[in-house]
Amino acid sequence: MASNSYTQADDRGQITLVDDVFQLQQAAFKQQPYLEANDRIHDLQQLKKALLGHQQELVQALSEDFGCRSLDDSKMADLMPTVMGINYAIKRLKKWMKPSKRHVGVLFQPASGYVMYQPLGVIGIITPWNYPLFLSLGPLTTALAAGNRALIKMSEFTPKTNAVLSKMLGSIFSQDKVAIIAGGPDVAAHFSRQPFDHLLFTGSTRVGKMVMAAAAQNLTPVTLELGGKSPTIIDDTIAIKDAVSRLILGKTLNAGQTCVAPDYILCPKGRIEELKQAFADWFSKMYPDIANNKDYTSIINEAQFERLTAWLEDAREKGAEIIELGDDSGAACKEQRKIPLTLVSGVSDDMTLMQEEIFGPLLPIVEYDSLDDAITYVNDRPRPLALYLCSFDEQVQQKVLQQTHAGGVCLNESAMQVAQDDMPFGGVGPSGMGHYHGHEGFLTLSKAKSVLKKGKRNSSSLAFPPYDKLVHKLIYKLFLR
């Protein structure tokens, strides 16, 4: 298993590097504050070429960091959406950069108005450990498309991946444009206190609050991509086996270590046993074994493994029924730091796994009587990053969409909304603020600067004081009505 620890000396060196590189990037941006479209496209093309050239090295590093990280999980959830996002930005960048014409009122004519999209400067990106490529290079793609420079703080839990990524980016960008920072919580805290032109954080709500507080000292604008307990509502009219087929990949991908994974299921009353059997059937087809199955990802480290097992034990002690799917022995799975998909029924609000985002392959099931009860259950809790509904009834779909809040929704699918290039991604309330991905990301990391342009004729002079002239009376008569 890979080491996930940093020494204090390592952190001190990274803190110094944050200061030095941040100043370097600020100075470089002042020298070149606006990159033309072709320069930005070249940067994105270089990023894509380097990523494709290092893909085998990267997926191997990811597997070493996790102990066992499915190569296909890495390709599907880290590499593919990153490459797709780069392609999307390259194709549309010139359109995004075009000034947007705006209306100028009659009183201010002759004049023209438009909005230009200007790079902000130096962007800070704080990346979690669960998808270290997509959640670092995705925001980087947006930052480069908007003409910025970027400083990326990687998680201390993915040292192998960080090293490959640092080498890869160093082969195409100088540090005054893009740089990687590693290190633990002290480095992250110091990083958050820098006066970035925008700070994008992906992680837990608890840490997000600290990041926002640190950024506030410099009035640094933030985009917070957090998480929360993303619910799944199964409508009583859909076949349970069909519903499970729409959910199970979103929950088992990366062993559930995904911010938009289904966190708990709201199941129609009387259908829980049917639901359990459907999950067991699908899971056994997807993963005939667990411990030695390279398709099934390990929990990232011992601390996370112990957290999840402790939450299961807490639920068991408080009366929940625990069903571990698959036939592997607990000892064999523990040795590989793997937890099979585990269903938890008979849950109550005093259980830890019903209070905190699970971030692992544990799946509580809550029984509901009516759709209104399910909606009330969701609305009585903090607004989540994602909400999933399994129903083919369009009236049910509209009711859930209109009466609940979430950062994003999938109807008859799960987790795949994140990979849609033309859809904004972001939370609401406790699950985050702001958006990135695609055009919304470009807008987030650009300054929409309004420009009012007048020519040689100065019509404003007609309205100069003194204010008792006929022109003033006409202006008031025309516009104060």
The Cα angle at residue 299 between residues 128 and 127, in degrees rounded to 5: 5
The answer for 429, left when phi > 0, alpha when psi is -120 to 50, beta otherwise, is left
List the structure tokens of 9. Answer: 């000396």
- Amino acid (one-letter) located at 338: K
57 in active site: no
* Helix/strand/coil percentages in the chain, nearest 5: 50, 15, 35
Say which residue the tokens 């320069």 belong to.
39
Range list of H helices, 233-294: 240-252, 272-286
- Phi, psi dihedral angles at 202 (to 5 degrees): -120, 125
What's the Rg (C-alpha) of the chain? Answer: 26
The Cα angle at residue 231 between residues 273 and 384, in degrees rounded to 5: 165
- Phi, psi dihedral angles at 126 (to 5 degrees): -110, 120
List the structure tokens of 193. Answer: 């206190």
259 in active site: yes
Q: How far apart are CA 463 and CA 392, in angstroms?
A: 63
- Amino acid (one-letter) located at 428: V
List 36, 57, 68, 225, catalytic entry:
225
Q: Which pairs with CB-CB distance under 8 Å and at least 24 residues apart come from 239-242?
A: 240/271, 240/274, 240/275, 240/278, 241/278, 241/281, 241/282, 242/390
Which helix or strand (DSSP H or E) is residue 188 part of? helix 185-192
Q: What DSSP string describes 288-313?
A: S-STT-TTSPPPSSHHHHHHHHHHHH
- Amino acid (one-letter) located at 345: S
1: number of CA atoms within 13 Å, CB side? 16
Query: How many other β-carbons are positioned within 10 Å of the β-carbon of residue 264?
Result: 23
- Phi, psi dihedral angles at 462 (to 5 degrees): -65, -25
List the structure tokens of 5. Answer: 């620890």
Which helix or strand (DSSP H or E) is residue 83 part of? helix 80-97
List 68, 259, 267, 390, catalytic entry:
259
Active site (catalytic) residues: 225, 259
